Amino acid sequence: MNNSTVRFAPWVGPHYERGCGGLRILLVCESHYGAKQHERPTVTPEIIKALALGQRHPKATGKLRRHPHFTKIMTAVQNVRQAFTGAQKADFWSSVAYYNFLQEFLPDSRVPPPQGAWQRGERAFSEVLAVLAPDLIVCFSVRNGKLIRSLAGDVPVAVVNHPSSRFAYAKVNPVIAEQKAQALVRKTQGPAFVVTATFDRWCEATACALPTPGQHLSAQDKAALIAQRREAMAALDQSSMAWTQ
């Protein structure tokens, strides 16, 4: 039985415990987009592997292009402007966690979340905080910043614009750098990280997820993948429902 309220497992890099620059950093954005039939528990690591790391699904007929969203995040967090190598990208993403706050797909970025979506995301995010115990949270959403801060307790939170909305390094980087400095001071006084069964499950989900193929599948493979996604999501939802009742 799944006793988690998190529908979309976060990306948890294999070196998250060690951290990035000595800090366990949780990167938080808002939502995934697409038809509900494509919801699946491993959507986040699938997307990181395809769009941030440039990996290809074994059955894909083509390769998705890396998305600037992830390069902007990496540049801002590290406060370094350069053309990153594949090895540098792999090193960064292996050292951080990434999570989308809303636990349901939105049809389009211009469509507002349905009523109650933010509230439904609160409980799941609280669980993510408890399991990942980040030293620093970087929230790439100004409209969600107040809520993230209210849930974060005394964990330093840098709230900046989403990479697709009025994003400027000159404004974003100093905000993140300031909170990183505070997090480093706070870390010396914090407790040791505790590995839980849920943490291990999310790490396994990250390691085992295949890169999303996008539209680069044959009709037969696409139909099979959609069925597989529906089955996985339904099983998790049913297990979570049984636990909460």
pLDDT tens for each residue of 29-49: 999 999 999 999 999 999 999
- Average pLDDT, rounded, for the chain: 93
Q: What are residue 20's DSSP bridge partners? A: 23
Q: Where are the domains of the chain?
A: 11-236
Residue 53 has what pLDDT? 97
Nearest to 92 by CA among 72, 117, 111: 72
- CATH number (3.40.470, 2.60.40, 1.20.1530, 3.90.1690) of 11-236 reads 3.40.470
In angstroms, the Cα distances linking 232 to 10, 237, 238 are 16, 9, 10
Residue 165 has what pLDDT? 86
pTM of this prediction?
0.94
Q: Which secondary structure element, helix H or strand E, spans residue 179, and what is its range? A: helix 169-187
Answer left, alpha or beta for residue 214, where phi above 0 means left and psi between -120 and 50 means alpha.
left
Tokens 């974060």 locate to: 152
Name the stretches of the chain with pLDDT < 50: 1, 245
Nearest to 102 by CA among 71, 64, 73, 143: 143
CA 55 from centroid of its chain's CA atoms: 17
User: Is beta strand 136-139 parallel, antiparallel or unpaired with respect to 157-159?
Assistant: parallel
